[in-house]
A and B are shown apart, each in its own frame.
Chain A
Amino acid sequence: MSTAAATNRVTPPVHSHSLQQSGITANASIPVGGMEQWRLEAIQKVIGFGSLAPNWDSYGSEAPTRAVKQTAINLLLSVPGQLFPAPLIVPVSGGGYHFEWSVGDRELEISIESDCHIDALRVEHGMPIEDGPYRDFPALFDWLASH
């Protein structure tokens, strides 16, 4: 729920804070309240690829590890709002993920490798612009949105 337009602000009592749990549980889960359908389905797809059988690509690859899976989920959670269509998501050999967003003539490709290293490639009119290790994801999605 967004309260950005509200002007009168109160501090809610602590009982209504979501931090009621101290963080001692170990099984991971992702709250979905207000989450867009594309993001929910993308996260489910990422989790689903985490169950790939060993040698799923016949080149000896394992399924993405928990850390790689978590990195991919964090990436999806960081994609801004409802501006973008659902990405294409595929597992890649070695235990990583590849994401592709297409908007107009622009494409943004992001790969997460088995060591959680992230690479991004920007493509415009079918031609790559540059690639390299990116951390400024908002800037990448700003570029994609400003087609």
Chain B
Amino acid sequence: MSDSGLPDFAQPPVDETALSIQFAPIPGFSVPHFGLYWASVRNEYPRFELQQPVPNVTEQFGPGVPFGRQLGIAFLELPEIRCWFLDESGNRLVQVQRDRLVHNWRKVTGTETYPRYPALRASLEKEWERFCDFLKGEKLERPKINQCEVTYVNNIEYGKGWKGYGELDKVVAALATPKPKNRFLPDPERVSMQVSYCLEENVGRLYVSFVPVIRGRDGKEILQMTLTARGAPKSSSEEDVFGWLDLGRKWIVRGFADFTTAEMHNVWGKQ
């Protein structure tokens, strides 16, 4: 167990993490502000890439809400962009758009060591403070935060504790039941799976997915397990926002441990 009391692994299969803070679109925030903001972080993030903005996503709860999530639709008058600001290695990036700031850590070569959540949280705190200071300097209003999101992407490679989808029960604990004898179906060729859970007191949801993918870095086919926790903090205060992110991370770590088997925990060096 780690010092936070959560399951801890010496070699977790995590390939990428993203900590996201979504807010109401900041009035007056427009294309020139991306460049002005870059000037304030360029010494640490010397590269940039333009991307399509990601949609505004809000978890919905309660009766009369037909869908769990709501995608925001806006009639835009101005061009909308999302900008990635990357460090020299490409391992860390800050994503900014008019209604969101995201801080990612990812593997680029595949040999990097996961820096652990406390370090990533501290890094997001720094970037968030710097972003808010920038907005203040530009006389723009402080973001009104409406959703937080934590995403962990885990790459589970074949040959490390399991050989293929006929042995998925060696990876996914929920599937680790005895297989009936004389079953008709052969081993599956591939398996995809998606599950969602409500967080305590409906403060958000945890999404767990298993999808066979080709990894963009090296073309290897792997099983990608993605865990995303998303929900609304009580307020826009930093205490509530980072408290929610801590809760989301707790659900992800405990969900990961629940979902995967003890045998795979050994492969990943559970401590």
Contacts and interface: CB of A to CB of B under 8 A. Distances in A.
B232 to A, nearest CB: 14
Contact of B219 (A16, A24, A27, A48): A48
A20 B213 contact: no
Interface size bucket, B side?
Answer: 35 or more
Interface size bucket, A side?
Answer: 20 to 34
Contact of A30 (B106, B207, B214, B226): B214
Interface stretch (B12-20, B156-164, B259-267): B12-20
Contacts of A43: 214, 219
B45 interface: no
A15 B68 contact: yes
A47 B214 contact: yes
Q: Is the contact region of chain A dominated by helix, strand, or loop, or is it mixed? A: mixed
A32 B95 CA distance: 27
Contact of A27 (B15, B71, B221): B15
Contacts of B93: 26
A26 B71 CA distance: 20
Nearest to A28: B216
Nearest to B15: A27
A44 B215 CA distance: 9
A24 B93 CA distance: 11
A31 B84 contact: no
Nearest to B60: A14
Most B-side CB within 10 Å, residue of A21, A26, A47: A26
Contacts of B7: none
A14 B205 CA distance: 12
Contacts of A26: 16, 18, 84, 93, 95, 104, 106
A31 B211 contact: yes
A18 B55 contact: no
Interface in B95-134: 95, 100, 102, 104, 106-107
Interface in A38-92: 40, 43-48, 51
Interface string B56-81: 01000000000111010000000000
Given A20-B228, A22-B57, A22-B230, A29 B151 contact: no
Contact of B214 (A13, A24, A40): A40
A45 B18 CA distance: 29
Interface in B181-238: 190, 192, 194-196, 207, 209, 211-221, 224, 226, 228, 230
B247 interface: no
B41 interface: no
Contacts of B173: none
Most B-side CB within 10 Å, residue of A32, A40, A51: A32
A126 interface: no
A86 to B, nearest CB: 15
A28 to B, nearest CB: 3
A23 interface: yes
Given A14-B67, A31-B211, A33-B211, A22 B15 contact: no
Contact of A44 (B57, B207, B219, B226): B219
Interface of A: 13-16, 18-34, 40, 43-48, 51
9 contacts: A15-B195, A21-B209, A24-B102, A31-B212, A32-B190, A32-B214, A33-B212, A40-B221, A44-B214
